[in-house]
């Protein structure tokens, strides 16, 4: 009996390797990984390895928690997986037919996916309005929503230039610069250490975010320094993201995970401790505007309305 229970436990948690892929993925951004997480949730519901609603909620909660722990800074994963669980909990208790529960849950997952796509498109459309002819915009890291905003502005035949930082240690800013250049956008690529001079040249800074909290937004390490320099030079700082990226600290704490130290220093050396954090908190007070699917908000209005 014990072997049988162990085997069933392994069958139900077949998703462990899929979650581990998300944990180890240091290349893709939060929108991509949140889509992957929702695909894993959808596949789990579809397989129906649960017997009833209670077991579905219990096993899905375990999967949701594993996904959240894999990328604890990505609010999209938290909000989307918790929304699925909450939907199941809100199905009338009189409904006992597990096939019907499965069906409506899969329909809800599809609604979440469609809403996410629509919200993303709206942020792109709104964000592109901020870009005018002859603007010079600096961005740090490689946000998918920022890249899409720039591509949309290019599609509208606006004439502007972009400054990309390398965004070490993964150098995703280098790859972003290449993609934008291939699309016909004029791009300057600068080392992270040269960001002060680059900001002086820019009209404003535009980045994405993985999460908004009560007091901060979370983005690639180096964003805080960019914000301080932009503020000192009186250059506006804008952040683009969806409302699903709002996740308050009182709901879920901010936890930073250290990444592979060998990306910075390949050897083990006595007395040398290598700290390689990909993300950091930047005080939200440095922002001038926030672009979300509901509109373009001045900072105070955004805080009053959402935080």
pLDDT for 9 equals 55
* pLDDT for residue 8: 54
What band does 109 get if pLDDT is binned at 50, 70 and 90? very high
Same fold, 2-121 and 129-306: no
Average pLDDT over residues 105-122: 98
At residue 227, the pLDDT reads: 98
Q: For the structural domain made of 2-121, what CATH number should be given?
A: 1.20.120
- Count Cβ neighbours within 10 Å for each residue of 207-217 and write b for 16 or more, e otherwise: bbbbbbbeebb
Structure tokens that stand for 233 in this block: 């030079």
Report the C-alpha gap between 18 and 20 in whole angstroms.
Answer: 5
**Cα 23 off chain centre by:** 14
The answer to whether 146 touches 123, Cβ cutoff 8 Å, is: no
Question: What pLDDT, in 10s, does the model give residues 229-262?
Answer: 999 999 999 999 999 999 999 999 999 988 999 9
Question: What predicted TM-score, i.e. pTM, was given to this entire model?
Answer: 0.94
Please report the pLDDT score of residue 257 as a whole number.
86
Task: Give percent of the chain above pLDDT 70.
Answer: 97
User: Which single residue is written with the structure tokens 């594993």?
Assistant: 66
> Is the separation of the CB atoms in 206 and 146 below 8 Å?
yes
Percentage, residues of the chain above pLDDT 90: 95
Q: Where are the domains of the chain?
A: 2-121, 129-306
3-state secondary structure of 190: strand
Q: Is 126 helix (H, G, I), strand (E, B) or coil?
A: helix
CATH homologous superfamily for the domain 129-306: Translation initiation factor eif-2b; domain 2 (3.40.50.10470)
Residue 295 pLDDT > 60: yes
Query: Per-residue pLDDT tens for 253-288?
Result: 999 988 999 999 999 999 999 999 999 999 999 999
Nearest Cα residue to 214 out of 289, 272, 261, 281: 281
In sequence order, the 6+-apart residues with CB closer than 8 A to the CB of 133 are 158, 159, 160
Contact assessment for residue 189 and residue 166, using Cβ atoms and an 8 Å cutoff: yes
Helix axes 144-155, 98-128, angle to 10 degrees: 50
């Amino acid at each position: 009996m014990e072997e049988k229970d162990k085997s069933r436990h392994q069958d139900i948690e077949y998703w462990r390797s899929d979650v581990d892929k998300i944990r180890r993925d240091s290349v893709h951004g939060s929108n991509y990984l949140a889509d992957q997480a929702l695909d894993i949730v959808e596949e789990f519901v579809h397989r129906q390895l649960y017997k009833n609603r209670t077991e579905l909620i219990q096993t899905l909660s375990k999967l949701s928690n594993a996904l959240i722990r894999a990328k604890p800074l990505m609010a999209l994963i938290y909000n989307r997986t918790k929304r699925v669980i909450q939907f199941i909990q809100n199905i009338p208790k009189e409904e006992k037919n597990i096939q019907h529960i499965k069906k409506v849950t899969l329909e809800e997952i599809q609604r979440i996916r469609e809403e996410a796509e629509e919200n993303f498109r709206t942020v792109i459309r709104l964000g592109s309005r901020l870009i005018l002819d002859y603007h010079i915009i600096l961005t740090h890291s490689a946000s998918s929503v920022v890249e899409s905003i720039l591509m949309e502005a290019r599609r509208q035949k606006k004439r502007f230039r972009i400054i990309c930082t390398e965004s070490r240690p993964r150098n995703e800013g280098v790859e972003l610069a290449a993609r934008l250049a291939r699309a016909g956008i004029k791009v300057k690529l600068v080392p992270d250490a040269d960001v002060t001079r680059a900001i002086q040249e820019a009209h404003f800074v535009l980045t994405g975010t993985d999460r908004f909290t009560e007091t901060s937004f979370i983005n690639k390490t180096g964003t805080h320094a960019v914000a301080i320099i932009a503020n000192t030079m009186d250059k506006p700082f804008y952040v683009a993201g969806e409302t699903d990226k709002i996740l308050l600290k009182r709901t879920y704490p901010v936890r930073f995970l250290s990444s592979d130290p060998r990306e910075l220093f390949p050897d083990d050396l006595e007395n040398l401790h290598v700290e390689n954090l990909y993300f950091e908190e930047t005080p939200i007070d440095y922002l001038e505007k926030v672009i979300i699917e509901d509109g373009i908000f001045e900072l105070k209005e955004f805080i009053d309305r959402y935080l």
